[in-house]
Amino acid sequence: MHYYSTNNKSIKVSFREAVLKGLSNDGGLFMPVSVPSIKRSFIESIENKSFQEIALEIAKGFIHNEIKDSDLEKIISDSINFDAPVVRLNDNHFILELFHGPTLAFKDFGARFMARTFSYFNRNNDKELIILVATSGDTGSAVANGFYLAEGIKVVILYPSGKISDIQEKQLTTLDKNITALEIAGTFDDCQKLVKSAFVDKDINERLNLSSANSINIARLIPQSFYYLNAFKQVKKFGKKIIFSIPSGNFGNLTAGLFAKEMGLKVERFIAAVNSNKVFTEYLVTGNLEPKPSIRTLSNAMDVGNPSNFSRIVDLYKNDLESIKKSIYAKSFDDDQTISAIKEVYEKFNYVIDPHGAVGYLASKDFIEKYGEDNLIITLETAHPSKFVDIVKSVLGIEIDIPERLKECLKKEKQSIRLSDKFSEVKNFLLSMN
């Protein structure tokens, strides 16, 4: 399969190149020349397929023969090794739980698959690959965990000292082995600057094989389409029209849903559920996307003022606002509404939802009120509530169950290397890895 740049369709690269580069040289995002289709017969008999069989079928379509079937099977069985169950709230509203991976958020699907794809493409290179990332919290832990023990790859994560949550810090700093956490005396922006400087530094690039595991990498998007089909499998028996409500920030998750639809999954509508960062809802009204500085909210993984996957959505719909509107409904909710929703979901359904899922729930409810109850709505729960234990606990006034894997991680000793925000210190550290 070839991939083109959203900035220039005549630039075409292989899947391998799209993965290793992340971003096209012209700054565009990579899109498949054609979204593969899944055979009707496969979808009709989907209840007989395992999650991994579904994943393999989709991945093959996106990758073709660039990874041998047997190797791809191994990549999938190593990365998609936890479930994504659909649970019932009532007869027409379900929750798709995407938090059963190691870092308790849906980003595990993308990060784990991307890491193993990187390892595969780097397998004949005797130079170790060093993934360098700056994180403000969540992405870093998913990436670090994704690459944990990946062959031929080391990960160096820069995070701002004292500016991420305790849980996030533990998730970054307790892995050891091929993961190193650099605790920088500075802000997230400083961390990002240091990473950028490293990528253009001559000495570093001569001696090391550096790469970024960018959030816009196509290898992160593809595995996110797996669970849309796997969710359909679980609710197919009800025979209703299906709607997915997706708590959105950079719109990667939603774009993966659009891919699933293009592949042949029947989806009546997607709902883009956003917090007070609502440039996309405004776009659907005005036809213009006007990036804004991000606003801090309780659903902070969705605090995005310029969604990076927007260009993919526009590209997929050939810049036709009307067809985008037909596919996607969008609605924004503020923090007060988010808090009420966390309460409501607990009181009505005895279900503990996290602030991101709560925004998704609100959008689903709004949609049901507007368009009736004939459909089956699936709200994506993108993180486990224990990741946001302070908020959820204070809203509900109950103890929140902490999954065993998080307890284990919290017990471990933090290991970080403290550096100032001077580039020379980071540079010396990187060169010492060689």
Ligand X SMILES: *Cc1c(COP(=O)(O)O)cnc(C)c1O
* CA atoms of 359 and 354, how far apart (whole Å): 9
In the complex, least distance from residue 408 CB atom to ligand X, rounded to whole angstroms: 21
Q: Decide: 106 and 380 in contact? Cβ < 8 Å.
A: yes
Catalytic residue at 39?
no
Of 154 and 220, nearer to ligand X (C-beta) is 220
Of 154 and 387, nearer to ligand X (C-beta) is 387
Of 160 and 252, nearer to ligand X (C-beta) is 252
In the complex, least distance from residue 393 CB atom to ligand X, rounded to whole angstroms: 17
Q: Which of 107, 261, 278, 331 is catalytic?
A: 107
Work out the end-to-end distance of the chain between its first and last CA atoms, rounded to an integer number of angstroms.
35
Coil, strand or helix: which one is 62? helix
Q: Which residue has the tokens 């776009």?
A: 283
Of 122 and 171, nearer to ligand X (C-beta) is 171
| Greatest distance between any 2 Cα atoms in the chain | 62
Q: Which residue has the tokens 């379900």?
A: 94
Residue 389 CB neighbour total at 10 angstroms: 19
Short-list 145, 138, 137, 136, CA closest to 115: 145
Of 67 and 142, nearer to ligand X (C-beta) is 142
Residue 432 corresponds to which tokens in the numbers above?
Answer: 């010492």
Those residues whose C-beta lies under 8 Å from the C-beta of residue 202, and which sit 6 or more positions away, are none
In the complex, least distance from residue 332 CB atom to ligand X, rounded to whole angstroms: 14
Binding site for ligand X (CB under 6 A): 105, 107, 138, 247-253, 301-302, 356, 382-383
Q: Is 266 exposed, middle or buried (0-12, 13-18, 19+ CB in 10 A)?
A: exposed
In the complex, least distance from residue 214 CB atom to ligand X, rounded to whole angstroms: 13
In the complex, least distance from residue 111 CB atom to ligand X, rounded to whole angstroms: 11
Residues marked as catalytic: 107
